[in-house]
Amino acid sequence: MGSHSGTYTSPPQRAVFKGLLFDFDGTLGDSTDAVVKHWHLIGKEIGVDPNVILQTSHGRRSIDVLKILSPEKANWEYIKHMEGLLPKNYGADVVEIPGARDLLDAVVTADVPWAIVTSGTTPLVTGWLDVLKLPIPEHLVVAEDVENGKPDPECYLMGKEKLGLSDKQGEVLVLEDSPAGIAAGKAAGCKVLAVVTSHTVEQVLAAKPDWIVKDLKSVKVVRHSGAGVELEILDALRMD
């Protein structure tokens, strides 16, 4: 993961939030293998080296990638169709991030307000949730809902609004993996917990999240009350 001097040894910390906003890819599920295969096919179709696409596509909307590389394909009809094929064609290539299922089950059981805020389209995220048999939230914010994708904060501001939590600074926790998503969450006035699943520790650190953990096994629901949901964060990165 690079030359950072930190270790995942911070003592347990507790924090209370009114609601939780989860990114999907890299945070709840890892569809890297599927996405690589997908962009190789798209790259051939549009005549662009797929490795060039993959260098910049993670955490970003397909429409924003294609606006640069193949503007004629940058429309929602095409993108929703091609993203909808990923879970159908590559369902065996997606895996859940460690701890994601237990955390979501605890969130649902405790009736914590939550939503998924993703750079993917509706067919993509609902397809992956169905493949993995993970809980589907009442609220989704997807690529086609916003004018500007991450790192713009629009998506997380919309997520807060859907939960009815758009006022107080830091009352909502964003769970993210990509620097673009971390930046979006911070700009939206949220606290951000980052998982080191898709980027180096240095890249995650540079985005300045509030906590960094290896995966979601480090996040536990303690209780949910009128004050909000109390989370315990274990084994966060501590810089020496």
pLDDT tens-digit readout, 65-79? 899 889 999 999 999
Residues designated catalytic: 23, 25
Q: What is the pTM of this model?
A: 0.92
Question: Mind listing the pLDDT tens digit for each residue in 3-18?
Answer: 456 899 999 999 999 9
Coil, helix or strand at residue 141:
strand
The residue extents of the domains of the chain are: 6-30+94-239, 32-92
CATH node for 6-30+94-239: 3.40.50.1000
Q: Give the SS3 label for residue 191.
A: strand
Tell me which fold the domain 32-92 belongs to.
DNA polymerase; domain 1 (1.10.150)
What is the DSSP code string of the chain?
--S--EES-PPPEEEEESEEEE--BTTTEE-HHHHHHHHHHHHHHHT--HHHHHHHHTTS-HHHHHHHH-GGG-SHHHHHHHHHHHHHHHGGG-EEPTTHHHHHHHHHHTT--EEEE-SS-HHHHHHHHHHHTPPPPSEEE-GGG-SS-TTSTHHHHHHHHHTT--SSTT-EEEEE-SHHHHHHHHHTT-EEEEE-SSS-HHHHHHT--SEEESSGGGEEEEEEETTEEEEEE-S--EE-
Q: What are the pLDDT tens digits along the chain (240 aa)?
A: 344 568 999 999 999 999 999 999 999 999 989 988 988 988 988 888 988 888 877 778 999 989 988 999 999 999 999 999 999 999 999 999 999 999 999 999 999 999 999 999 999 999 999 999 999 999 999 999 999 999 999 999 999 999 999 878 889 999 999 999 999 999 999 999 999 999 999 999 999 999 999 999 999 999 999 999 999 999 999 976
